[in-house]
Structure 1
Amino acid sequence: MKSYGRVLPDAWRIILPIWGVTLFVLILSDEVVLNLFLLALSAGVAALFYIPKRVPFEQSENLLIAPVDGVLETVETDVNGMMRLRFKKGLFDSSVVRAPLSGSLQKSDVRHGLFLSLHDKKSLSLNEQMSIDYQWYDESVTMRLQCGLYAFSLLRFCHVGDVEVGDIQAHLTDGYVELLIPSEVKIEVSPGDQVMGGYSVIARRAS
């Protein structure tokens, strides 16, 4: 899914009620501050679901591209020897989560749950989450999404089959996105770096 220049399809169930209330108040109210607030709110909510066009900084099937706008918080090795990259998505960053690679999508699972603050230790086990498994050449790559306190919901747009880098996979307003990647790849980013989903190169596979 690469429907650039518009909002995500399921977003209208959130956007339209807010626009409806705004229009109703604008017709009946002469309170300038309230009207301006509702107009800003309507525009802001629509912006959260907008799909900006992104083209990777470099284009090669050997590259991993950032899946989401945000900040790389940690790079670490997990118990299975995979490299784990964790990205914190800010509330005002683009909410689109994109495929980080060109390959095949093996499966995706959503675990419905709560929307606790990410500072709460219980959020790791109780918050709504999604897991997407990819095949990248002969290696496995897993992307995990975890909702935060201000996540409206976790919408899935991915399907089993071939996938291209930058394809729309999900919508996440607030939370974490983790990538579990082979330890042999060369990491191109460091903790604290700001990345753009669908654009920034984060890792490179040895040729």
Structure 2
Amino acid sequence: MKKTEIILKEGYPYIAISGVLFLVSLLFKFPTILQLLFFVIFVFFVYFFRNPARIPEDDSENAIISPSDGTIIEIKESISPITNKNSIKISIRLSLFDVHIQRSPIKGEMSAREYIHGMFLSLNSNKASELNEQNRVLFENEKNQIVVNQIAGFITRRIIMFRDLGPIKLGERYGMITFGSQVDVYLPKNITLKVSEFQKVKAGESLIGYINEAN
């Protein structure tokens, strides 16, 4: 079994550079305020690139688990990218202090991907979800087609994929966005939602809904 990283390797350069700066500030007796600043930056990077273990609240076949940490800022009907189907769109806003890893909302297949090169507008802009850099991934199985869209923000300049398309487990990590971002989830219309706007969710853990097979 592959050992789970406590800290993502993607964070090593940030942690190493900030750690060296902190040590240099101590060795050369920089002003205390600078020493404190470099220490805070070092601790922040260690915290930001953490990779906590997650257990889904429900791992049944009809359950859909949140692909991202953050706060749900909007739930509305929308057309899903990739599939172009009428869907329920859940927008999840991540703060700098949320875990920024994205995980599969279902067990099945990562079957398609679209990377859109765009702008880096503030996520408070109404046009950000349309014009910003984004990475769309289709997850599907015999019951579901779910699109998860990673959207870069003003500070964010990097969307990372940890793996290629293919079979994927429920809650398996597949990518991340660095330093503040938004994730939009497009769900089938025949879903019973278990979340509401302004609710906090966790990737790979929080139940967001069930597919209603009666519809």
Q: TM-score, normalised by structure 2?
A: 0.87
Name the residue aligned to 1:19. 19
Identity %: 23
Q: Which amino acid aligns with 1:193?
A: Q
Alignment of 1:184 onto 2:193: no
Inter-CA distance 202–22: structure 2 relative to 1 (3 Å threshold): same
Instruction: Write the distance in 2 (CA, Å) between the matches of 1:98 and 1:59.
Output: 14
For the 8 Å contact 2:11–2:45, the answer to whether it is kept is no
Name the residue aligned to 1:193. 199
For the 8 Å contact 1:91–1:150, the answer to whether it is kept is no
How far did 1:114 drift? 3.4
User: For residues 1-207 of structure 1, what are the structure 2 equivalents within 5 Å?
Assistant: 4-79=4-79, 80-172=85-177, 173-206=179-212
Q: TM-score, normalised by structure 1?
A: 0.90
Inter-CA distance 168–94: structure 2 relative to 1 (3 Å threshold): same
For the 8 Å contact 2:10–2:49, the answer to whether it is kept is no
Q: Which amino acid aligns with 2:58?
A: E
Spell out, residue by residue over 1:26-56, the C-alpha distance to the aligned partner (whole angstroms, 9 max, x if none): 2112422221221111011121111011101
Q: How many corresponding residue pairs?
A: 207
2:205 partner SS? coil
Instruction: Write the distance in 2 (CA, Å) between the matches of 1:27 and 1:112.
Output: 43
Instruction: Write the distance in 2 (CA, Å) between the matches of 1:55 and 1:162.
Output: 19
For the 8 Å contact 1:3–1:51, the answer to whether it is kept is no
- Structure 1: gaps spanning 5 or more residues: none
How far did 1:115 drift? 2.4
- Structure 2: gaps spanning 5 or more residues: 80-84
Instruction: Write the distance in 2 (CA, Å) between the matches of 1:53 and 1:4.
Output: 8
For the 8 Å contact 1:105–1:162, the answer to whether it is kept is yes
How far did 1:82 drift? 1.1
How far did 1:121 drift? 4.0
Inter-CA distance 112–195: structure 2 relative to 1 (3 Å threshold): same
Instruction: Write the distance in 2 (CA, Å) between the matches of 1:193 and 1:85.
Output: 11
Q: Which amino acid aligns with 2:146?
A: V
Q: Which amino acid aligns with 2:163?
A: C
